[in-house]
Structure formats: structure tokens, C-alpha cells
Structure 1
Amino acid sequence: MNGKMDRRGFFATFVKMAGVAVIAPTVLNTVFGSEAHAQKKRGAAPEAAPAAKSGGMPFVDPNDSVAKAVKYVEDHKKAPEAKGNHCVTCGFYGKKDATSGTCTIFAGKLVKADGWCASWNKKA
């Protein structure tokens, strides 16, 4: 070969590079983006105490990106826009015990019964 790339070679290389660009973030997130890694980076213990108390299901971290997006607070009294509404009276809430429950917005995590978020929806 004389060192020049023909059109077929260019497109073959382009497709390979595009494939790597699409797949690499998923692979890197899987390898380096685990919850344990994120907790370690924040300085928290890999298995925090709230998860142990709740039977393995962790509480929502108010600093989590989803929690911030929906303005989740653990105490509805601290959110003026809650207007007295809280998780217990929300249609997305499923009661676990007197102080906490599950929420379809935060799959796999518990929310405080007195919490509130902007996705609050009146129970039917």
C-alpha cells in the first residue's frame, strides 16, 4: 500500500470509530459508574446505615440527580410549594411502615412519609 486511504477504507474506519464512540460510554459507566464507586467518591460507606435499617432498600438521597430534578425534600414543611401535601397523600406512594414507603418515581428506594416532591399527585 502507498499510505493513502481509499473511500472504502475511510468509511470502514469511520464506522468502527463510530461504534466505539457509541459503546464506550456504556462500558465505562458499567465498569466505573457503579453505586459503590459513586458512594466512595462522595466519601460515604458502601452500605450506608439507612439501607440496613430498611431491610436492604436505601432511602432516596436528596442530593441525587433525580431527587434534585423533582425538588424532593425529606420534610414537606421545608418546601413552601408543597402546600401541606406530602408523600403519604401522593398517588405514587406505597406505604411500607409509619415513617417510610416506596415511590414509583424513585424505583428501588424508600422515601420519607413526610417527604414531598414536585411530582406529587393526589391519591385517587
Structure 2
Amino acid sequence: MIENKMNRRGFFSAFIKLTGVAVIAPTVLNSVFSSTAAAQKKRGGAAPAAGGGMPLVDPNDSVAKAVKYIEDYKKAPEAKGNHCATCSFYAKKEAKNGKEAGTCTIFAGKLVYADAWCASWNKKA
């Protein structure tokens, strides 16, 4: 039979280690989560716009540039008359700056104009 006895020295050693982890862990976790939140805020991430609602996609955003997002499809010859309102990724949501805007699965958490276009345009079924 195997005996698993903890002597006084082992008990206090384990207690001190556990206490150290309990004291240090919240500080480490807080710094990790606060830096993540600050990075999201800097990127314009999950936080809603000041006026309420979702923010519009910034055409200078890295994802927007990657898919050649443009706010007016008439300025993009490769759009060939296609625009977000006729795309399967688009869902009408609200009016922004007097224009129709909606959500797009390409730009999670942000709105795009109905008259915008990007290279990921996909015909609505």
C-alpha cells in the first residue's frame, strides 16, 4: 500500500506556492485583458460608435483594403454595376449619414453602405 503523507514542511511549501499564485494571477490576468481591450478600442473593434449603433467600415482598414472596399461602386470599374445591396453577404440594417447601410459578413461588427462594393461581392440568390 502506498502512503501519501504530507509533512509540515511539504504542507507549508505547497501553501506558500498556492498563495503566491493566488496573489499574482489576478494581476497578470488583468494586464492581459486590459491590453486586449485597449487594442480593440484602438482598432475600432467591438465597441459601438459614440452615437449608438455599429460603426461604418473605414476604407483604410486593412481588411477593407485587402478586398478593395470602396464606398461608391460607381467609382470602381471592376464593380460592373454590382454593389453591396445586391450581394449575398449584405443585410439592410439602418441609415447612416443619410444613406442606407447594413451588415456584411466580411466586416463583422461594422456597417457598409448599400452603394459600396468590394472584390468579395457575391450575387444574391
Q: 2: distance between equivalents of 1:75 and 1:114?
A: 5
Task: Check if 1:104 corresponds to 2:105.
Answer: yes
* Segments of 4+ moved more than 4 angstroms: none
1:1-124 map, 5 Å:
31=35, 34-38=39-43, 51-53=49-51, 55-97=52-94, 99-124=100-125
Bigger CA radius of gyration: 2
Q: Deviations over 1:63-106 (max 9, x none)?
A: 00000000000000111100000000000000113510000000
Q: CA RMSD in A?
A: 2.6
TM-score of the superposition, structure 2-length normalised? 0.61
Q: Which residue of 2 aligns with 1:13?
A: none
Which letter maps to 1:94? A
Letter in 2 for 1:76: Y
Identity of aligned residues (%): 70
CA apart distance, 1:38? 4.4
How many residue pairs end up in the alignment?
Answer: 88
When residues 36 and 97 of structure 1 are mapped into structure 2, their CA distance, relative to the original with a 3 A threshold, is: closer
Structure 2's unaligned 5+ residue stretches are 1-30
- TM-score with structure 1 setting the length: 0.61
Higher strand share: 2
